[in-house]
Structure formats: structure tokens, C-alpha cells
Amino acid sequence: MAKGAFNPDEAWSADHWLNSLGMVTLLYGPVEKSLLSTEGGLLKPKLPKEIDLVQETIDFKLWEEMPVSGQNKLTTDGLRIMSIRDIKKFKSEMNLNNIKVIMDKKGTILPEKAVGGFNPNTGQIVLRPDASYLSVVHESYHAKHYGELGKENYMKLTTLEKEEYVYREIMKNKGEFSIEEIYEAQRYIFKLRNGQWPLSNWKGFDE
């Protein structure tokens, strides 16, 4: 576990941003569809207009289906899901930097395959209740980028430019990540660069 208090004065420094989250490893993966509702009922259907509006305004983190397995809430690749305690800590730390974290408990904000999103119009992060750690920090890197550039300049960037920034932040701190985490980050940026996911036997980038 990384140690160190959150200092708003240096909140946008890369090293401090990583350490302030309380862990040196950032883990992520999509949650099983059945976990998207915390009330035990069927998910509320999303109207097409609602989905279109969200897709136009939020920088999403999208992943292929990867079911959660076991009581420890691990993905099939062994990536951990964010705990409630860590979600609460993350929300508190983001509040210190004027970033509000919204929990999409009813599944009415994020599209089906989005595990998280950052809305540059409002400066808010939107998360699933069972968001994985790396997906949470992925969105925090969008917020970090937003804070560095300001809303006007951030909004001028393409989706790929925003995601390349997040990927660079991850790779800058690659020593803090597991092999599986780096691989998943590389798969995701590959998908964004090429318009499709890599083949199942893809070994990742050599960097």
C-alpha cells in the first residue's frame, strides 16, 4: 500500500496522483451484467436518446465482457474489483480537488459496457458500484488531464488524444502495475487506435 496524505496543492503531479489513491497497483475490468443493479431487480432500460446523450458527453472506459468470479470479486484474469471502502476514499480525495464522483447505482447513466466515465461538461466522474480499481483511476487520469488543460482546451481534444494521455500516465508508472494490468491497458489503447480489439493470442506492445 502506498502512503502519503492528499495535498491539493500538488494534486496534478503524476507521482502524487498515483500515491494519493492509497495503492500502488491499479486494477480494472468490467463487471458482470448482473452486478450492475444493487437493488436486486432488473436493470432499468435505457432509452436510445439517453444513451446517445451520455455517449456524446462522457469519456468512457469500455471493455469486452469479462465476468466476475468468486467471492473476492476477481475477474477471470485475476484483476480485483474496487472495495466499498476504497470507493469512499476515492470520492473523498476527488472532492478535495473539486471533482465530484457519481455512482451509477441503477445503471441509468452509463451505457451497458461502460465501466466508468468522465464528463468534461460537468467535471464529474461516473462509476459503477462495482467498478474495478484501474477503471476508477483511469477516469481520475481524465480528470487530471482536464485539470491541467482547463475545460476549454480539454474539450478540443479528440477521444484518442484523451485516451493516449491516460495510457501514457499508466506507462509512466508501469513499475507500479502487474503484467496483467499493463496488458489490459495495452489491449484497450490498441482497440482505440485500430478500431477493434486485438486477437486473443496478442502478446501486447514491447515497451
- What is the residue-wise DSSP string for 53-70? HHHHH-EEEE-----EET
Residue 150 has pLDDT above 90, yes or no: yes
Kindly state the average pLDDT of the residues 93-118.
90
Q: Look at residue 32 and tell me whether its pLDDT is greater than 60.
A: no
Task: Pick from 19-23, 54-58, 64-68, 100-104 the range whose average pLDDT is largest.
Answer: 100-104
More confident residue, 113 or 118: 118
Can you give the pLDDT at residue 154? 96
**What pLDDT shows up at residue 64?**
45
Q: Where are the domains of the chain?
A: 8-194
Inform me whether the pLDDT recorded for 100 exceeds 90.
yes
For residue 178, is pLDDT > 90? no
Identify the DSSP state of 157: S
User: Quick check: pTM over 0.75?
Assistant: no
Q: Which grid cell sits at 129? A: 458500484
- Name the DSSP class of 25: -
Rg (CA), the chain: 16
Read off the C-alpha cell for 110: 452509463
| Backbone torsion region of residue 154, taken as left when φ is above 0, otherwise alpha when ψ lies between -120 and 50, otherwise beta | alpha
Asked whether residue 139 carries a pLDDT value surpassing 50, the answer given is: yes
pLDDT at 132: 78
